[in-house]
Amino acid sequence: MKLLWLVVLFGFALPGASSELRATGDLGVVIERADGRVLIVEHTNDTRLEQIEGLGDLSHASVVFSRDQRFAYVFGRDGGLTKVDLLTSRIDKRILQSGNSIGGAISQDGKLVAVSNYTPGGVRVFNADTLELVADIPADYGGDKLSKVVGLVDAPGQRFVFSLYDADQIWIADMSDPVNPRITRFKDIGRAPYDALISPDGRYYIAGLFGDDHLALLDLWHPEQGVKPILAGYAEHDEKLPVYKMPHLEGWAMAGNKAFIPAVGQHQVLVVDTGSWKMLDKIKVHGQPVFVMARPDGRQVWVNYAHPDNDTVQVIDAETHAIIKTLKPGKAVLHMEFTPRGEKLWLSVRDDNRLQVYDTRTFEVLQELPAAKPSGIFFTDRAHRTGL
Amino acid sequence: MPDRLFHTHRWMLLLFTILSLSGKAAAVTPSTERQLELRNLLYQDCGSCHGMRLTGGLGPALTPGALRDKPRELLVTTVRDGRSGTPMPPWKQHLSDTDIEWLVDLLLELESQP
């Protein structure tokens, strides 16, 4: 009888769940951005599992995961922060925390979720369990308004690092005492930082600059040394083209001692030595790169492109820098995600309303799945990676 | 015969000019298929900076309130030539004047919606 009650209670508590036990290590979330929906998918057999509605404006939405890989935190454009339970396929909690936001991060200890906002400009930090506000960090730089905040990442030492688009600054927020963040500010880092990334070990934070011909590097082991310009004049001798979509620096494409970075306004991928931060090579590619992502083993680098070249994906050999494959997945390839060990890659083809799964050795399409205007694809192994 | 052709041509030119001058009623509208493409471009691609609901992002909002005081010609120029010093690119390489004017009118039309 007791057992029966337990079964009944469990059944009520988890209405969407099947009776079988389910782990979450091979799950993922796909954004169906036009409809305010997300798909829950799994990448062992490459299938769709569930569809969840009611997440608001998901243009430019991104996702981080709880460290137990059960919950996905979805950051929407309308300031929405939605905590989705991947096991019950339900919205666990949802708040509208600002007017206009751009992304977020989860702290090293998994207890804080931070959101970077355009309006009002700044970062808000929430309790990861309850989504209650823990700290508010307005991006007040002494101007007449607050700055838009971009490139927010988590860093070791329970820190968040982010860039101020309107103020040309990088800030570190030490959240050791969550209600009293300790802020370190770096000024004049270069004009108009538009996005940033952190190295997988959490040591280097690099901001891309829209208004300057270099990138800004902060060594988080040595913040006292300040922010340094790297790759100064990388576009000096090249024609600067109009930028139809800002590159994304989220994926740190690293292979051995090389980092692969999208050049702004150029048909190039920059190869940088991560010891000296000198340019090793510029790889001519098909269009203006948006995402430049290394396969987890670092052997290949996959690149997608801005409008009007967004029907194409290219694969670079990280060793020789040769383009070894040019794929035409379809109209408007928006995002790519490797499986945790890199044998497969999922990509979203927005205007063809589908997802494609590639074998990264043979480049064969293994699976195609329908999805409505899909954009971001996020797998749960991100839960255990710094900066993602 | 060539004379007649010439005259017809002139009349058409005149008609075109009148229609163009009459403002919103653009002389040429993109085909229905093109209109679909342009709508998709507006919400999906312009949307990557201006928000899919045009409420703004890295770029400013293109909503009714935001566009209220902006002259049509300024909007057309901005789309065609971009805004230097900002990430707004010129779209003239990819869009015809007809496309651009139709898009701007669409934005202004959205304004009059409740």
Task: Write out pLDDT tens, residues B17-36.
Answer: 544 444 444 457 899 999 99
A59:B57 CB<8 A: yes
Domain residue limits at B52: 29-112
Question: Which residue in A49, A48, A53 sits closest to A35, CA to CA?
Answer: A53
Question: Which residue in A126, A124, A90 sits closest to A110, CA to CA?
Answer: A126
A223 cis-preceded (ω within 30 degrees of 0): no
Q: Is A77 on the interface with B (CB under 8 A)?
A: yes
pLDDT value at residue B71 = 92
Contacts of B49 (CB under 8 A, 6+ apart): A246, B57, B58, B59, B87, B88
pLDDT value at residue B2 = 47
Mean pLDDT of B101-107: 92
Best residue of B33, B38, B52 to probe chain A, by most A CBs closer than 10 Å = B52
pLDDT value at residue B111 = 59
A118:B52 CB<8 A: no
- In chain A, alpha helices (H): 2-13
Tell me which chain A residues have a C-beta less than 8 angstroms from the C-beta of B82.
242
CATH number of A97-243: 2.130.10.10
pLDDT value at residue B13 = 54
Domain range summary for chain A, segments of one domain joined by +: 97-243
Contacts of A51 (CB under 8 A, 6+ apart): A32, A37, A38, A39, A40
Q: In angstroms, how far is CA A301 from the centroid of its own chain?
A: 16
Tell me which chain B residues have a C-beta less than 8 angstroms from the C-beta of A148.
58
Is B101 part of any domain?
yes
CATH number for the domain harbouring residue B93: 1.10.760.10
Is B45 part of any domain?
yes
Cβ neighbourhood burial of A23 (10 Å; 0-12, 13-18, 19+)? exposed
Q: Is A203 on the interface with B (CB under 8 A)?
A: no
Q: Is A246 on the interface with B (CB under 8 A)?
A: yes
Is B19 part of any domain?
no
Place of tokens 């954009």: A375
* pLDDT tier for residue B73 given thresholds of 50, 70 and 90: very high
Q: How many domains does chain B have?
A: 1
A242:B93 CB<8 A: yes
B44:A57 CB<8 A: no
Q: Is B36 on the interface with A (CB under 8 A)?
A: no
Is B21 part of any domain?
no
Tell me which chain A residues have a C-beta less than 8 angstroms from the C-beta of B44.
34, 332, 350-351, 373
Q: Is A332 on the interface with B (CB under 8 A)?
A: yes
CA distance B76 to B102: 9
- What was the ipTM of the complex prediction? 0.70
pLDDT value at residue B112 = 54
Is B66 part of any domain?
yes
Q: Is B51 on the interface with A (CB under 8 A)?
A: yes
pLDDT value at residue A33 = 87
A34:B52 CB<8 A: yes
* pLDDT tier for residue B8 given thresholds of 50, 70 and 90: low
Tell me which chain B residues have a C-beta less than 8 angstroms from the C-beta of A350.
44
Is B70 part of any domain?
yes
Amino acid letter, residue A375? S
For A247, nearest residue in chain B (alpha carbons): B48
pLDDT value at residue A19 = 67
| Shortest Cα–Cα distance, A242 to chain B (Å) | 5
Q: Is A248 on the interface with B (CB under 8 A)?
A: no
A244:B89 CB<8 A: yes
Amino acid letter, residue B65? G
Q: What is the pLDDT along chain A (388 residues), one digit of tens a residue?
A: 455 555 444 444 444 445 689 999 999 999 998 899 999 999 999 999 999 999 998 988 999 999 999 999 999 988 999 999 999 999 999 999 988 888 999 999 999 999 999 989 999 999 999 999 999 999 999 988 899 999 999 999 999 999 999 999 999 999 999 999 999 999 999 999 999 999 989 999 999 998 888 999 999 999 999 999 998 887 776 667 778 777 788 766 777 789 999 988 889 999 999 989 999 999 999 999 999 999 999 999 999 999 889 999 999 999 999 999 999 999 999 999 999 999 999 999 999 999 999 999 999 999 999 999 999 999 999 999 998 8
DSSP-derived secondary structure letter, B61: P
**Terminal-residue alpha carbon distance, chain B:** 54
